Amino acid sequence: MARQLISGSELDRPTLEAILARASALKREPLASRALAGKAVALLFERPSTRTRISFEVGIYELGGHPAVLRGEELQLSRGESWKDTALVLSRQVAAIGARTASDQALAELAENASVPVFNMLTPTHHPCQALADLLTVQEALGRLEGVRLAYVGAATNVARSLALLGGIAGMQVAIASPPGFGLSPQERSALGDPLLTTDPKEAVQGAQVLYTDVWVSMGEEQEREEREAALRPYSLDEQLLGLADPQAFVLHCLPAHPGQEISPSLLYGPRQRIWEQAENRRHAQKALLEWLVGKLP
């Protein structure tokens, strides 16, 4: 069976470390690999994207390949064709398939029926490509991942799940602070590397070297906007909360950001963030991932 990245659990620690090391090398020499020379990679977008789309398009180009971007309204999926049939067709045309889908089941059906590597560009439950870039950013800043405490503050989104899972594989200590009803379930906790779960953001950030947050209202949650904003307002990442962390702590955000809501403007654009480098690192981490998926990781 072709390699896949659906949740991130497909990666063991040695593989994760190899991908991150390769990402660092490709960041230094962006055109050093021709792993996708003469090959196309399908990128399926059911949902809007900025960072995911541009980082994969440019990254595939730098690897010598062609990114075939397919938006939902351009596919026969919009007229009722199944994900199974889509997988069967695309597998005969491309070297790998990435999908950013509105449901986890859609990606699962695609992966089950494809004969080429399939990777998750975002589902409601997981965002492993974002977490790979996050870990690369932390490793660059601190020189290690083992024992690093990362505190995520806000609703337990797909990003929080992927951080817990991949951070746990890497040996990090992940703490997630969410309002009641917006956190991970006890069942999820055991499957995600046993992160610390709390409703107290001050507890989560205590001694943390990395503070992380995400939007209050994700795609598909617009009807719950008022309820979510009211519940998450005490979880805003600001200077006061950062002051409880490690003195050298820095801030991350997967973007897009809403300054003045989940993060203060002074943190988003200030000297104690690595957010824009984090966004760039999507490309480098994903290039290393693509090499691994097609069996070309050195």
Could you give the residue numbers annotated as active site?
A: 100, 127, 130, 214, 254, 282
Q: How far apart are CA 270 and CA 22, in angstroms?
A: 29
For residue 207, the number of C-alpha atoms closer than 13 Å in the C-beta half-sphere is 7
Collapsing DSSP states into helix, strand and coil, what is residue 187? helix
Residues 6+ apart with CB under 8 A from 7: 120, 125, 126, 128, 161, 162, 165
Instruction: Reduce the secondary structure of 71-137 to three states and give it as a string.
Output: EHHHCHHHHCCCHHHHHHHHCCCCCEEEEECCCHHHHHHHHHHCCCCEEEEECCCCCHHHHHHHHHH
Among residues 246, 159, 254, the alpha carbon closest in space to that of 205 is found at 246
Q: How far apart are CA 149 and CA 138, in angstroms?
A: 10
Following CA atoms 217, 277, 122, 28 in sequence, which dihedral angle do they give, to the nearest 10 degrees?
180
Among residues 154, 106, 105, the alpha carbon closest in space to that of 254 is found at 154
B/e letters for 164-183, b = 16+ CB within 10 Å, e = fewer, are bbbbbbbebbbbbbbbeebb
